[in-house]
Amino acid sequence: MKEYLPSRIFVSGTDTGIGKTVVSAMLMSSLDATYWKPTQSGLDEETDTQFVQRVSEVPESRIIPERYRLNEPMSPHSAADIDNVKISLNDFQLPEYDTDHLIVEGAGGLWVPINWKESMMDLILHLNIPVLLVARSTLGTLNHTLLSLEALRNRGIDIIGVVMNGPEHEENKKTIEHFGNVKVWEINDLPDINKNTLKNTFNSL
Ligand SMILES: Nc1ncnc2c1ncn2[C@@H]1O[C@H](COP(=O)(O)OP(=O)(O)O)[C@@H](O)[C@H]1O
Ligand SMILES: [Mg+2]
């Protein structure tokens, strides 16, 4: 997979809870990279940034603080309303980094709003950064994944490829490669998520 990866990578997904943070942690464990989650919604449980730092065991210098930390585990636009915060695209600037890669993790999927005018897709365009799309491997993934790829293409956003996360599904992989015209990597459910299992997974791709 390494040879396909540009310096800046926006990890998006077809859904929330689809594996964006796990994929980000895999990249952080395996590459010389810096991680940034622009908007974190929900602070009661371990945040994505904390998870990535814990499992990939990187020094704090390779973690950029979130631009927005919102209390409620909701879409950024709603969580911001509740916290009385106004999110604007111009609040986000690509951070400086001195590693080979910068891994940026989105919130939810592409059409998730960041305010009442703009979405994650606008943020990706604003940051001008290629997308690695995380999708589930199982039933229901074809529509979500092909719609997401079409939306990215319609806006001229570079697509690195799709990571299909979950039980192996050769038919879905083949179908997404065919109709999505895209590179697909598969990662399976890991019984234990740690630096070593993530590194081994990356090395097998
Ligand atoms: N390949 C995997 N193996 C084991 N657990 C996984 C895997 N992918 C995701 N998970 C688990 O599923 C949940 C959602 O994944 P996460 O990466 O947080 O999704 P997202 O960032 O898209 O919301 C987490 O509890 C995560 O640990
Ligand atoms: Mg996440």
Over residues 95-127, the pLDDT tens digits come to 999 999 999 999 999 999 999 999 999 999 999
Q: Is any ligand 1 atom within 6 A of the Cβ of residue 13?
A: yes
Amino acid letter, 93: Q
**Chain centroid offset of residue 60 CA:** 20
User: Which parts of the chain have pLDDT scores under 50?
Assistant: none
Distance 19 CA to ligand 2 centre (A): 7
Taking only the tens place, the pLDDT of each residue in 120-132 is 999 999 999 999 9
Nearest Cα to Cα of residue 15 among 100, 136, 119: 136
Given this model, what pLDDT does residue 86 score? 96
Nearest protein Cα to ligand 1, atom 2: 189
| The predicted structure's pLDDT at residue 11 | 98
Residue 198 near ligand 1, beta carbon < 6 Å: no
Cβ-contact 6, 127 below 8 angstroms? no
Burial track 51-83 (b if 16+ CB lie within 10 A, e otherwise): bbbebbebeeebbbebebbbebebbbbebbbee
Paired strand residues for 11:
105, 132
pLDDT of residue 192: 97
Q: Is 37 a catalytic residue?
A: yes
- For ligand 1, is residue 187 a contact (CB within 6 Å)? yes
> In this predicted structure, what is the pLDDT of residue 5?
98
Residue in the block written with tokens 């690195």: 160
Residue 128 sits in a domain whose CATH number is 3.40.50.300
User: Max Cα separation, the chain?
Assistant: 46
What is the amino acid identity at position 159? I
CB of 189 shorter than 6 A to ligand 1: yes
Q: What is the pLDDT of residue 7?
A: 98
Identify any residues that bridge with 161 across adjacent strands, giving them in sequence order: 132
Amino acid 28: pLDDT: 98
Selecting among 2, 37, 86, 183, the annotated active-site residue is 37
Which residues, in sequence order, are CB contacts of 160 under 8 Å at separation 6+?
4, 5, 6, 9, 130, 131, 132, 183
Residue 10 gets which letter from DSSP? E
**From CA 17, how far away is CA 21, in angstroms rounded?**
9
**Cα angle: 96, vertex 101, 104; to 5 degrees:** 75
Please give the Cα distance from 127 to 67 (Å, whole number): 13
Q: Name the residue at shortest CA distance from atom 11 of ligand 1.
A: 19
* Domains: count for the chain: 1
Ligand nearest to the CA of 13: 1
| Residue minimizing CA distance to atom 23 of ligand 1 | 17
Question: Is the CA virtual torsion 47, 52, 54, 59 positive or negative?
Answer: negative
Is residue 165 within 6 Å of ligand 1 at its C-beta?
yes
Q: What's the confidence (pLDDT) of residue 120?
A: 98
Entry field: residues in the chain: 205
- CA of residue 71 to ligand 2 center, whole Å: 15
Give the domain extent around 137.
2-204
Residue nearest to atom 27 of ligand 1 (CA): 22
